[in-house]
Structure 1
Amino acid sequence: MASSTKEIDRELPPLLRVYKDGTVDRFLGSPIVPPIPLDPETGVSSKDIIISQNPLIQARIHLPKLTNQTQKLPILVYYHGGAFCLESAFSFLHQRYLNIIASQSNVIVVSVEYRLAPEHPLPAAYDDGWFSLKWITSHSIENNNDIINIEPWLINHGDFDRFYIGGDTSGANIAHNALLRVGNNGDESLPGDVKIKGALLAFPLFWSSKPVLSESVEEHEQSSPMKVWNFVYPDAVGGIDNPLINPLADDAPSLDKIGCPKILIFVAGKDDLRDRGIWYYEAVKKSGWKGEVELVHVEGEEHCFQIYHPETQNSIDMVNRIASFLA
């Protein structure tokens, strides 16, 4: 590769490397693939849409097979994982996974292509996630001529009374922070007064300066989440105890104001983020929040196993549990 002769500025092994000319090599992540007008495996149609031109925010929308042309379906706004710096709504893995979710759950999935670090350090991903949420829910307003790049699938088939958000790892973190934004500040209600009915948080990425549960004290300072956060948000106030990554930080918004009535959290037995998911689940339960939170602990599985290996029984069971939640 020609880039091997260039001068390295900084790197985040084994994820990526940044060169002094501003170019970035990403070493992990699945290839970008086009949308599929009709997926033969699931019957789901997908296409790419533009949410904003400046900054450029895009999405891939997945529409399951319709029983009739007036059918209304629940909507899931999904934020992909990848440590805020990898993967894409347009990647092979998420195209395949979200076609399965759309088909099995019979929901419209809007998978947001937010800007990635290090080209766009945080809070860019949070800003894009919030802007996208407002743009999507603005389709609930009748005769709304202010929408730029209006999306007919949302107008014709979206049921905004059954509106969900979610994601995996860093995407679950983005979804959590959007829930707090809706719940803690009345000025930040969504267009059309759309209410989020539930949130799906798979292997959520949270961390703090102190280890929890079975996390190793000795390895904590050199942990992957610590390194990732410092790389993708070097200017974060409070560092790893910034409320965006540590929902129990002293100055974090109260969890009792989470802006939806139910949350489904997944953790995996062999995932380094397992204890953080359990920690977050326990914190939500103790917060005084009036909703229902459920934790699904899948023993013996790795991080995001259902995306990498959708054919296994544990993955099938997880998708079925998601479908039940979205129903």
Structure 2
Amino acid sequence: MLSLISIYILAFQLSHPFNPGQSTNFAMATEPESDVVVFEAPAHFRIYKSGKIERLQRHPVLPAGVDETTGVASKDVVLDADTGLSVRLYRPKIQDPSEKLPVLVYFHGGGFLIESADSSTYHNYVNALAAAAGVVAVSVDYRLAPEHPLPAAYDDSWAALLWAASVQDGWLTEHGDVSRLFLAGDSAGANIVHDMLMRAASNGGPRIEGAILLHPWFSGSTAIEGEPPVAAAITALMWSVACPGAVDGTDDPRMNPMAPGAPALEKLACERLLVSAGKKDGLAARDRAYYDAVTASSWRGTVDWLESEGEEHVFFLTKPDCDKAKELMDRVVAFISAGAAA
């Protein structure tokens, strides 16, 4: 199965041949404006010029419960009935009732436009992560754009992070150790992780031991070396739908942490950072540039890098049993357990 970003690039190239020297006209003059499809990711979503989105062939929603294979238990908790903000909690099989486990807050991907914490994609992944890493996981079901434009997803994620850190649920009280708090996310979810670290720095947030950015979705108005120009074009379109109020476009600091005027990376409010990318991912150059920028900054934490050879964007979600996905999972587990061993 092609990764989402590969599908986006393929669909864009087929329907809108890209010339970096020319502006792209997304509209078709013969159709009513509201009916013009400006972008389509086959089997995932279709975006209209009016801003409407049509979500296609959604992944099945899986109920919370006990997973027979891993022994991980899960449950849903509503945090805000008015906005619909909720989280899905995961508690691994408890061997020692007196042991306190690290708490990991997870933010799913999907370009801020699709997916959910209870979709089969993310339920299965976070369930496996909780089992492998031995963490109490809090998977955030934030509101999606365009119905809820950004910063709704960022605000929901921040509210969920504060809720997790405040230990208001019995599973967190009995089994969680919020002094060992981790953040993780993939693609747009990894983008959210970066925003949470910056918010924590400026808003007096909780202490965060480590953050894991899996194939983070970053971009900018100008393609960088090694970045396919079409990737930047696709991001610009999707970002304009998800965040129509962004004055600087994809140079908004939330999408481009290295943009002029963006908050200094030395403010990252965690002690350790793991950044990963797929070698064949159209976002790999941006992800590496982010890692290099953090390394070159005066941030006092430690940052690690893992690039999966021959793999595309978020391949570990669609191929969790392949060798490279297992290697990445092992690296994530080692990253979380490193603090306890220190």
Shared fold by TM > 0.5? yes
CA shift digits 1:257-286 (9 cap, x unpaired): 100111001100111111110010011111
SS at match of 1:12: strand
Q: Does structure 2 conserve the Cα–Cα contact (< 8 Å) formed by 1:12 and 1:231? A: no
Matched, 1:33 2:62: yes
Matched, 1:243 2:253: yes
SS at match of 1:13: strand
1 CA distance for matches of 2:51 and 2:237? 20
Instruction: Give the 3 Å change call, closer, same or farther, for CA 230–78 of structure 1 in structure 2.
Output: same
Matched, 1:276 2:311: no
Matched, 1:136 2:164: yes
Offset of residue 297 of structure 1:
0.7
AA matched with 1:126:
Y
Matched, 1:215 2:233: no
Q: Indicate which of 72, 86, 107 corresponds to 1:79.
A: 107
RMSD over aligned CA atoms reads 1.9
Q: Does structure 1 conserve the Cα–Cα contact (< 8 Å) formed by 2:77 and 2:88? A: yes
Aligned length: 302
SS at match of 2:166: helix
1 CA distance for matches of 2:51 and 2:293? 40
Q: Does structure 1 conserve the Cα–Cα contact (< 8 Å) formed by 2:236 and 2:249? A: no
Q: Report the counterpart of residue 144 of structure 1 in structure 2.
A: none
Instruction: Give the 3 Å change call, closer, same or farther, for CA 153–224 of structure 1 in structure 2.
Output: same
Matched, 1:153 2:171: yes
CA shift digits 1:199-236 (9 cap, x unpaired): 0000001000111121245x466x32122111111121
Matched, 1:172 2:190: yes
Q: Report the counterpart of residue 290 of structure 1 in structure 2.
A: 300
Instruction: Give the 3 Å change call, closer, same or farther, for CA 317–127 of structure 1 in structure 2.
Output: same
Unpaired runs of at least 5, structure 1: 1-6, 140-149
Offset of residue 56 of structure 1:
1.6
Q: Does structure 1 conserve the Cα–Cα contact (< 8 Å) formed by 2:89 and 2:138? A: yes
- Of all paired residues, the percent bearing the same amino acid is 39
Matched, 1:195 2:195: no
Unpaired runs of at least 5, structure 2: 1-33, 338-342
Instruction: Give the 3 Å change call, closer, same or farther, for CA 25–263 of structure 1 in structure 2.
Output: same
1 CA distance for matches of 2:284 and 2:156? 27
Give the alignment of 1:89-104 within 5 angstroms.
89-104=117-132
AA matched with 1:155:
T
AA matched with 2:252:
N
Offset of residue 70 of structure 1:
3.1
Offset of residue 72 of structure 1:
1.1
Matched, 1:312 2:339: no
1 CA distance for matches of 2:50 and 2:252? 30
Q: Report the counterpart of residue 137 of structure 2 in structure 1.
A: 109
Offset of residue 71 of structure 1:
2.6
Q: Report the counterpart of residue 120 of structure 1 in structure 2.
A: 148
Q: Does structure 2 conserve the Cα–Cα contact (< 8 Å) formed by 1:264 and 1:295? A: yes
Q: Does structure 1 conserve the Cα–Cα contact (< 8 Å) formed by 2:215 and 2:284? A: yes
The ranges of structure 1 where at least 4 consecutive aligned residues each deviate by more than 6 angstroms after the TM superposition are 19-23
Instruction: Give the 3 Å change call, closer, same or farther, for CA 135–9 of structure 1 in structure 2.
Output: farther
Q: Indicate which of 75, 86, 94 corresponds to 1:66.
A: 94
1 CA distance for matches of 2:46 and 2:320? 30
2 CA distance for matches of 1:154 and 1:23? 39
1 CA distance for matches of 2:36 and 2:61? 26
SS at match of 1:102: helix
Offset of residue 16 of structure 1:
2.3
Q: Does structure 2 conserve the Cα–Cα contact (< 8 Å) formed by 1:8 and 1:18? A: no
2 CA distance for matches of 1:29 and 1:51? 24
CA shift digits 1:39-79 (9 cap, x unpaired): 11111001111111222211111110001333311011000
Q: Does structure 2 conserve the Cα–Cα contact (< 8 Å) formed by 1:28 and 1:86? A: no
Offset of residue 161 of structure 1:
1.3
Instruction: Give the 3 Å change call, closer, same or farther, for CA 209–21 of structure 1 in structure 2.
Output: closer
TM-score by length of 2: 0.84
AA matched with 1:26:
R
Instruction: Give the 3 Å change call, closer, same or farther, for CA 27–44 of structure 1 in structure 2.
Output: same
SS at match of 1:119: coil
CA shift digits 1:225-256 (9 cap, x unpaired): 12211111112121111111010122211101
TM-score by length of 1: 0.88
Offset of residue 24 of structure 1:
4.4
